[in-house]
Amino acid sequence: MTPDEILRLLEEHVPFNRLLGLKGEWVEVGRAVLTLPVRQDFVGDPRRPALHGGVLSTLIDTAGGLAAWSALAPGESVSTVDLRVDYLEPAGLGAPLRAEAELVRKGNRVCHVRVAVTQDGLLVADIFGDRQFERWRDGEDELHLLLDSFDQAKARIPNLGALLASRLRRYPVDRLQLMIACRSADWPESLEVELRDIFDGEVGVYELLPLQRADVRVLAEQAGIDGQAFLDEVERSGELVRGVLHRCAIA
């Protein structure tokens, strides 16, 4: 079937898709993009209002199935056996939802697909399927992971701490070395509690205080470097020595 024929089948010949109003943007082998114009009757929480999570999971399921199906050989079929969704932001009444699906791996019996849903460019849900994480999870190596600017990410995704904690519980943390950098004022205490539980209390939290010129000079001399010469070189290069109060969690 041609891509146009596949999209026509999706939109016109699947009654449930037709009921929802699903639209195919494009499809190729192992990849697909679907859109869904939102309607008032998709609302699951009228107080905000926010769309029902089932609407997003249906869009994800359909887009992921299409990406997998596009890579099958003639005579093969596909059905969903497991669907895991992380809701990062509520989707609301406004711009259409857009799902981008990519086939990560095709085995003899199972396909792994990664799907991301956006609305107005904001990521509202995703299915975690990063290849590097999967290789680490299924292997025996140790992973060193640095999450920098956590405060900036948290400003866009308010429940980021809870999301991270739930994600970490799925992985072999005995082989994970994690460092998180975040401004002290924005550090989520609830995440610290979760991390101590996940890593059996083996979590260190440190505040990095602003460095004065005198501090830089002392540290340089302790490293066997002429402190004043180091500061002079920094000034000549036009770089600024700045210290920002940050909190780091190391697990």
pLDDT digits (tens, 9 = 90+) for 194-221: 899 999 888 888 887 777 788 888 888 8
Task: Give the Cα separation of 217 and 225 in Å (integer).
Answer: 9
Task: Give the Cα separation of 52 and 18 in Å (integer).
Answer: 18
Task: Give the Cα separation of 135 and 127 in Å (integer).
Answer: 16
Q: What band does 127 get if pLDDT is binned at 50, 70 and 90?
A: low
List 149's β-bridge partners, or say none: none
- Containing 229, the helix (H) or strand (E) segment is helix 227-237
Task: Give the Cα separation of 122 and 155 in Å (integer).
Answer: 13
Q: What token pair was written down for 22?
A: 């699903």
Write the CATH number of the domain with boundaries 1-129. 3.10.129.10
Does 7 or 129 have the greater pLDDT score?
7
Q: Using CA atoms in the order 147, 148, 149, 151, what is the torsion angle rounded to 10 degrees?
A: 40
Place of tokens 């002392």: 218
Asked whether the predicted pLDDT for residue 130 surpasses 70, the reply is: no
Q: Using CA atoms in the order 195, 199, 202, 204, what is the torsion angle rounded to 10 degrees?
A: -30
Asked whether the predicted pLDDT for residue 162 surpasses 80, the reply is: no
Q: What band does 239 get if pLDDT is binned at 50, 70 and 90?
A: very low
Domain ranges of the chain: 1-129, 135-251
Pairing of strands 43-45, 31-36: unpaired
Give how far the C-alpha of residue 8 lies from the chain's centroid of Cα atoms, to the nearest Å. Answer: 31
Q: What is the mean pLDDT of residues 154-168?
A: 76
Q: What is the mean pLDDT of residues 63-87?
A: 87
Q: What is the pLDDT of residues 79-98, one digit of tens each?
A: 888 888 888 778 899 899 99
Q: What token pair was written down for 79?
A: 């059905």
Asked whether the predicted pLDDT for residue 240 surpasses 60, the reply is: no
Asked whether the predicted pLDDT for residue 153 surpasses 50, the reply is: yes
Please give the share of the chain, as a percent, with pLDDT higher than 90: 26
Q: What token pair was written down for 68?
A: 């997998």
